[in-house]
Structure 1
Amino acid sequence: MYVVFFYQGLATHLSAKKSALEQLDGYRLRLRKSEEEFHHKEDERHVVAETLKKANAENSVKTAVESDGEEEDEEDADAGSEEDGSRGYTPSPTPAKSRAGSHVSPT
């Protein structure tokens, strides 16, 4: 009779151990999937970061080229004004003097 209880207890213990191991395997599988997902998202994050770096670099180059072009245009305009002697200054026409105003004679 004690042997029957022993075998029943042993069977219950082994069944519980088997269930616990199966549950542990399930947790391990979920953990592995989560780690793979995490690494995949990390890879995506790195790709996005590299893409942003490239886009920022391209924008910097584009801005530098545009500003260099504007500086060259200004230099060309300055050079053109130096050639005609105006040096960027354009005199406005002088107004015609009216002789009908008050005139003091030098007598």
Structure 2
Amino acid sequence: RYDYTSPRGDKHQIIVACQEERSQLHNRERAMKMLKSEVYEIIRREEEERKAAIESGKKKIEWGSQVRNYVFQPYTLVKDTRTGAETGDVQAVMDGEIDIFIKAFLMEYA
């Protein structure tokens, strides 16, 4: 019997028994291998769950999920779809001046 506490604080109780060998020592060694395998499986499963939780929070990269819209013709406009912030100076935004969008994002989400 082994009580395992994962790094996230989840508690698991693992019970392993082995009576396949004639020697108690060999049975103990085999049981320890089985126990290590169970602990590894729990750790692997928790890691997969953690990764799945991170991946589910991400937006898909597809049409319509863009952050900003850029209009060059017939008028000039850059609009942030998340915050609604916009500017008419497209060239400045293309040159890297995106402070207006950063401030708007921080004001809305921070």
TM-score by length of 1: 0.39
Which structure has the highest helix share of the two? 1
Bigger radius of gyration, 1 or 2?
Answer: 1
Which structure has the highest strand share of the two? 2
